[in-house]
Amino acid sequence: MLNNITQIRAQFPILHQEVNGKPLLYFDNAATTQKPKQVIDALQRYYELDNANIHRAAHTLAARSTEYFEATRKTIQQFINAKEEAECIFTKGVTECINLVAQTWGKANLKPGDEVLITTMEHHSNIVPWQMICEEKGAILKVIPINNSGELLMEEFDKLLTTKTKIVACVWVSNALGTINPVREIIQKSHAVGAIVLLDGAQACSHLQVDVQALDCDFLTISSHKLYGPTGVGVLYGKRELLEAMPPYQGGGEMIKEVTFEKTTYNEIPYKFEAGTPNIGGVIAFKYALDYVNELVKENIAAHENILLKHFVDGVHQINQTNNNAITLVGTAANKVSVQSFNINNMHHFDVGMMLDAKGIAVRTGHHCTQPLMHRFNLEGTVRASFALYNTTEEVDVLLQSLSSIIKFSNR
Amino acid sequence: MTTNDIQNEIIDNFSLFEGDMESTLFYLMDLGKKLPAMPDEHKTETYIVKGCQSKVWVFPTFIDGKVHFEADSNTEITKGLVYLLWSIWNAQTPEEILNSELFFIDKIGMSRMIGSQRSNGFASMIKQMKLYALAYKTKGA
């Protein structure tokens, strides 16, 4: 549990403001989390004191920025328990991580008739890159279905998984539903048929313990900005032997060993995949986000968030008892993180979102970049509340009261 | 009433809320309820306004030199916005529609109220209604 919540909230400057004349309640954490002062200060410090391009120049600033940049790599390696730092590649985000794997591993390994397996609850960024490479290589994209609670149908997975399956690209935690998928089982079964597994960890890494060696996943994607760090930074974890065998993604500076007009030899991993000047300040500041999460201890964060989720869901059930089941929850898996999609019956999710915003409450509305998932539920979209370490049960109470008053208004 | 008179009345009505977002939205949604019902058979793909996040339909007819609009939306706030345009432009001449400047939008602080994405959708509605007016003007001339 987090028992110093006032102190925690004090570290997030953005939370202390009014929106539309009301105190801001930020429940759009699955879209992006807010940043603690430590991260904001690190960004500012980098540009004020240390800004220099990394891995190149001989001067002191460059040495300093390189040292700090690589310190983040060390921290993320430990954060996910990768075997070595070189297995952690900095990208501009999870979308780029997945495109990188699809365009390099996919290009080198997929053949006509091969199958790529994804789930119904993928974010578009774990669908479209695979569609693109499948189309290019004549491979087939297959989709694991889900039940009405938003859980994978594992018996269907067993049927879909064959020796034709070359990669299973699977979201660890659904951004729209909050479902935690049984990734250990998926990885073990996939490896048994010779398929590799990419886990989309965009949502998972801020809530769950990550140990890539224990999981034995082949790739894992991580988003800084969903983990209290800056935007524009992602990390692709990949097993060394896979990364080494993969062709480069983009050509340019940093990724080369030697360039002549006749031939270029490529750098070692991770640099082979880090062409061009990266978001240096963002990467450096990301370390402070990881340190922050480590300091609070993930189990404590998860316990706190689970209390918030339960408080919200219990509150919705209470509202429903006296309001003719006015709220429909979408995503009721047994194993979930603190994300809850819902709709108010007979109200459009956009209207609910706008009315909440008028009360200073930030939620996400729409299809959450998961249109196929919305189609599965015959929905155009949902309202999504997602809770983070700085949210409180008092805030959740305000959300519940606001939903009650919106329901009363809609019954006018 | 001229389109300017109607706009001034809208500005007066919205000013009562003194920028309070919640009551403004409630008011907007209540306005939407005043839109005359649009027959379902007119809510077709042809009459959808492209560029709106929510679904918006506008169906025009031209009677005695005036443009008549049927309109609807699947979201209540947007329906309120549609109502505002309808109340200004319904049963006006194509010239009046084409020449009118929608000064009420800034005056009631619409952009703050609906955000940038909806503002784009609102601009699409305006453009579509003006296009219908232009078509009738060209046909009539």
For residue A313, give the CATH number of its domain. Answer: 3.90.1150.10
Mean pLDDT across B65-93: 94
Q: Which secondary-structure segment (H or E) carries A261?
A: none
Looking at the complex, does the CB of residue B6 fall below 8 Å from at least one CB of chain A?
no
Task: For residue A238, give its domain range.
Answer: 51-295
pTM for the full model? 0.93
CB A189 within 8 A of CB A157: yes
Q: How far apart are CA A238 and CA A220, in angstroms?
A: 7
- Residue A85, amino acid: E
Residue A156 lies in a domain: yes
Count Cα neighbours of A170 within 13 Å in the Cβ-side half-sphere.
29
For residues A377 and A264, membership in a common domain is answered with no
Residue A390 lies in a domain: yes
Looking at the complex, does the CB of residue A245 fall below 8 Å from at least one CB of chain B?
no
Q: How far apart are CA A230 and CA A374, in angstroms?
A: 29
Q: How far apart are CA B48 and CA B1, in angstroms?
A: 28
For residues A136 and A100, membership in a common domain is answered with yes
- How many angstroms separate the first and last alpha carbons of chain A? 41
Shortest Cα distance from B20 to chain A (angstroms)?
A: 7
Q: How far apart are CA A1 and CA A311, in angstroms?
A: 15
Q: How far apart are CA A298 and CA A235, in angstroms?
A: 19
Q: Which residues contact A140 (CB under 8 A, 6 or more apart)?
A: A113, A114, A115, A116, A134, A164
For residues A308 and A340, membership in a common domain is answered with yes
Q: Do A355 and B25 touch (CB under 8 A)?
A: yes
Q: How far apart are CA A19 and CA A408, in angstroms?
A: 23
Please give the torsion angle defined by the CA atoms of residues A317, A322, A324 and A326, in that order, rounded to the nearest 10 degrees: -50
**Coil, helix or strand for A309?**
helix
The pLDDT value recorded for residue B52 is 73
The pLDDT value recorded for residue B113 is 74
**Quick one: closest CA in B to A20, which residue?**
B21
The pLDDT value recorded for residue B54 is 83
The pLDDT value recorded for residue A58 is 86
For residues A202 and A328, membership in a common domain is answered with no
Chain A contact set for B76 (CB, 8 A)? 347-348, 351
For residues A309 and A171, membership in a common domain is answered with no
Q: Is A388 exposed, middle or buried (0-12, 13-18, 19+ CB in 10 A)?
A: buried
Is A88 a catalytic site residue?
no
Catalytic residue among A88, A134, A205, A369: A369
For residues A309 and A284, membership in a common domain is answered with no
For residues A101 and A213, membership in a common domain is answered with yes
Q: Name the DSSP class of A25.
A: E
Residue A387 lies in a domain: yes
Question: Of A279, A295, A311, which residue sits at a domain end?
Answer: A295
Which among A21, A350, A409 is the nearest to B75, CB-wise? A350
Q: Name the DSSP class of A287.
A: H
For residues A357 and A212, membership in a common domain is answered with no
Q: How far apart are CA A293 and CA A35, in angstroms?
A: 11
For residues A302 and A285, membership in a common domain is answered with no
Nearest to A180, CA basis, from A128, A121, A221: A121
Residue A234 lies in a domain: yes
Question: Of A252, A276, A295, which residue sits at a domain end?
Answer: A295
Q: Name the DSSP class of A2.
A: -
Q: How far apart are CA A170 and CA A184, in angstroms?
A: 11
The domain total for chain A is: 2
The pLDDT value recorded for residue B141 is 56
Give the pair of three-digit tokens for residue A400: 């519940």
**Quick one: closest CA in A to B19, which residue?**
A20
Q: Which residues contact A147 (CB under 8 A, 6 or more apart)?
A: A153
Chain B contact set for A358 (CB, 8 A)? 21-22, 24-25
Q: What is the pLDDT of residues A268-294, one digit of tens each?
A: 999 999 999 999 999 999 999 999 999
Q: Do B21 and A351 touch (CB under 8 A)?
A: no
Residue A365 lies in a domain: yes
**Coil, helix or strand for A167?**
strand
Question: Of A295, A325, A346, which residue sits at a domain end?
Answer: A295
Q: Do B74 and A348 touch (CB under 8 A)?
A: yes
- pLDDT beneath 70, residues of chain A: none
Span of A87-96, A353-362, B20-29, B117-126 with lowest mean pLDDT: B117-126
Q: Which residues contact B141 (CB under 8 A, 6 or more apart)?
A: none
Chain center to CA of A36: 18
Where is pLDDT greater, at A187 or B77?
A: A187
The full set of domains in chain B, from first to last, is: 3-140 (3.90.1010.10)
Residue A43 lies in a domain: no
Q: What are the Cα distances from residue A315, in Å, to A162, A383, A394, A402? A: 44, 16, 12, 12
Q: How far apart are CA B101 and CA B99, in angstroms?
A: 6
Q: What is the pLDDT of residues B40-59, one digit of tens each?
A: 999 999 999 987 778 899 99
The pLDDT value recorded for residue A334 is 97
Q: Which residue has the tokens 């699977």?
A: A170
The pLDDT value recorded for residue B116 is 66
**Quick one: closest CA in B to A366, which residue?**
B53
**Quick one: closest CA in A to B78, which residue?**
A351
Please give the torsion angle defined by the CA atoms of residues B40, B46, B52 and B58, in that order, rounded to the nearest 10 degrees: -60
For residues A276 and A394, membership in a common domain is answered with no
Q: How far apart are CA A154 and CA A190, in angstroms?
A: 12
Q: What is the pLDDT of residues A181-239, one digit of tens each?
A: 999 999 999 999 999 999 999 999 999 999 999 999 999 999 999 999 999 999 999 99
If phi > 0 it is left, if psi is from -120 to 50 it is alpha, else beta; for residue A143 that is: beta
Instruction: Residue A162: give its domain's CATH number.
Output: 3.40.640.10
Q: How far apart are CA B20 and CA B30, in angstroms?
A: 16
- Residue A248, amino acid: P
